[in-house]
Each structure stands twice: as structure tokens, then as C-alpha cells.
Amino acid sequence: MMWYSLYLPTASAGPVIDALRSLLAAHRYAPYDPFPGGTGTPGGLTDLVRQFVAPPQGDWLRILGQPAEALLPEFSTAVSIPVLYAWLTDDVGGFALFQDGARHDDPAMFQPYLRESRTPDDLRRAWAGQLPVGALDAELSAAVPGEDALPPEIQQFAQAQGVDARKAGKLFERLGDSLFSKLGRQSGGADDDEQAQARAIFMGGGRGHWNSLNGQRVRAIASVLDLPSNWRLPTWETVRDAYHVHRLRQRRPRMALMPGDKEAMDAVPDALDYTPIYMGK
């Protein structure tokens, strides 16, 4: 799993988009357009930046996708506002703040962005992984119910077969609950930790990653910051797929939908309001 987001406390997307493109161009990145009607992906590129700038939400602007991390100090200087960076992979997860050309990993730097109901001690505990979060917090379970229950490989198979991934995810969860309930009775009450680990393996990449120690830490930190309620969603992959289909439909509205296209479009109805930043060298 690879999940990355940048959050900027601004409602003005234009200057941020211009600054990001200019910065990448200054470092010899050239733009390309791999979507329908575009020029495709040039051959020979070995370093790609593939991001989407989401429409502003309140006083926040979110950029989805893996950034050129080494350029974030310069980016914070170029936009003249702080840049909050969040990431979660199979091995690591956390938050960092880039401001005035410097990186800060000290939780105290995030205090200006605390929710009104949260304290600096909440932030410190979240940073240290000491602030517990629910197994399925409201944002995680309500935003796309059932979808995260499917491991990525099964999500792809369901999409290829024209199956609604959300409905399949709910069924997958019910099967998992039934399976582990039966196993628990047969084993005379297995160790809770063993069952939790087995369930995480069974449930695969979606909620398993967000319920890992790193995933819970990222969720805990986000819960004390005044970020938009959907700080985690949609994912870069979801926007990419939706943007592709919406662009194709925009160019060829009479073309028949392929299996999974409707689900992709419904997942992000406003995908064309996202600005792709695709550049490489």
C-alpha cells in the first residue's frame, strides 16, 4: 500500500498549481498527459510525479499522490504557506510539516492546526502512538462503506467483472466475521491478539493497513488536526480511474461503458474538477 497527501491551509488552488508546475519544470520535469485525448506517456522517463490537486474544501487544499519529497522544502517556500505532508506505506506512516524551506517533524509545529476540542497533549500522545482510535472510526467506515474490506487484488477482479466493489466488500466482511466466529468456537476461544492478526491478513490491504500500528498513528494524528472530514478519501487511485473514464466520456459520450466504468465515475462524480499534475524526466 502507498498513500500520500499534502494539505495546504488555503482555498486558492490556482497559485499552488502554478507553483508546483513551475518548481517541477525548474528541476527538468516535463509535463505529459496520459489520459484520453492526451499525448500519452513519453518513453524513457525514469522519474515520475503523478498527483491530483483536489477542489478546495473549506480552508484546505489537498494534493493527492506521492510527491517529489526532496522538493517539498522548496515547494513550501514557493507557495509561501505551510505544507502538511502525510503518508502511509507498508512500512512507515506519519506527518511532517514543511515551512519556509525547512522540514519539521516536531509535533509542536502542528499546534496551530489543532481542532478546537483537542489539546497539545492530545497531539503529543497521537504523535507517540499513545492515542487510541476506534477499530473503524466514523470517517473510515462511512465514506466508502464496504470498499476497504476487499484486498486490492479482489477489488480489481470485482471491477473487471462489473461487480459493485462496495457490495462485494460488505459480503467479504460478513464472510470474515462468520469465519472467525466459527474458528473461535472451534478453538475454544483463540487468543484475541492472534485473531486480530489473522483477521488483518484475511481482510488484506484496505482496513488492515489503516488498522496497523502506523495506520492507527496516522489516523490518530489526523483526528486531532483541523483537517477536512474526508482527509483520507478519495484515494489517488480512485481519482485516477474516475478521471480517466470521465475524460473518455467527455470526448465520446455515446461510447458504451465498460465493466467497472460506472462504479469508477460514481466514486468521484466531480473528478474533472481535480487538476492532474503529471510530469516526468
Regarding whether 153 and 34 lie in a shared domain, the answer is no
Q: What is the pLDDT of residues 192-212, one digit of tens each?
A: 445 444 444 444 444 578 888
CA–CA distance from 57 to each of 29, 61, 62, 63, 95 (Å)?
28, 6, 8, 12, 20
Instruction: Note the pLDDT of residue 88.
Output: 97
Instruction: Please provide residue 54's backbone torsions phi and psi, each rounded to the nearest 5 degrees.
Output: -75, 155
pLDDT of 151 above 80: no
Single residue among 163, 190, 210 that ends a domain in this structure: 210
Regarding whether 121 and 48 lie in a shared domain, the answer is yes
> What are the cell numbers at 68?
517529489
Regarding whether 118 and 26 lie in a shared domain, the answer is yes
Regarding whether 104 and 71 lie in a shared domain, the answer is yes
Regarding whether 215 and 92 lie in a shared domain, the answer is yes
Instruction: Note the pLDDT of residue 55.
Output: 97
Regarding whether 169 and 65 lie in a shared domain, the answer is no
Higher pLDDT, 184 or 119: 119
Regarding whether 251 and 200 lie in a shared domain, the answer is no
Share of the chain above pLDDT 90, in %: 68
- Judged by average pLDDT, the poorest of 29-38, 143-152, 219-228, 266-275 is 143-152
Regarding whether 146 and 49 lie in a shared domain, the answer is no
Which strand (E) or helix (H) includes residue 280?
strand 275-280
Q: What pLDDT band is residue 132 in, cutting at 50, 70 and 90?
A: confident
Residue of 224, 228, 260, 226 whose CA lies nearest to 244:
260
Instruction: Note the pLDDT of residue 211.
Output: 85
Instruction: Note the pLDDT of residue 145.
Output: 39
Instruction: Note the pLDDT of residue 179.
Output: 53
Regarding whether 162 and 66 lie in a shared domain, the answer is no
Regarding whether 129 and 45 lie in a shared domain, the answer is yes
Regarding whether 122 and 152 lie in a shared domain, the answer is no
Residue type at 255?
A: M
Q: Checking phi first, is residue 146 left (phi over 0); if not, alpha (psi -120 to 50) or beta?
A: left
Single residue among 210, 239, 271 that ends a domain in this structure: 210
Domain count, the chain: 2
Percent helix, strand and coil across the chain, each rounded to 5? 50, 15, 35
What is the rounded average pLDDT for all residues in the chain? 83
Domain interval for residue 86: 2-135+211-280
Distance separating alpha carbons of residues 72 and 244, to the nearest angstrom:
27
Single residue among 188, 210, 232 that ends a domain in this structure: 210
pLDDT of 142 above 60: no
Regarding whether 53 and 186 lie in a shared domain, the answer is no
CA–CA distance from 231 to each of 79, 106, 192 (Å)?
21, 21, 31
Q: What pLDDT band is residue 175 in, cutting at 50, 70 and 90?
A: low
Q: What is the pLDDT of residues 25-73, one digit of tens each?
A: 999 999 999 999 999 999 999 999 999 999 999 999 999 999 999 999 9
DSSP state letters, 1-13: -EEEEEEES-S-H
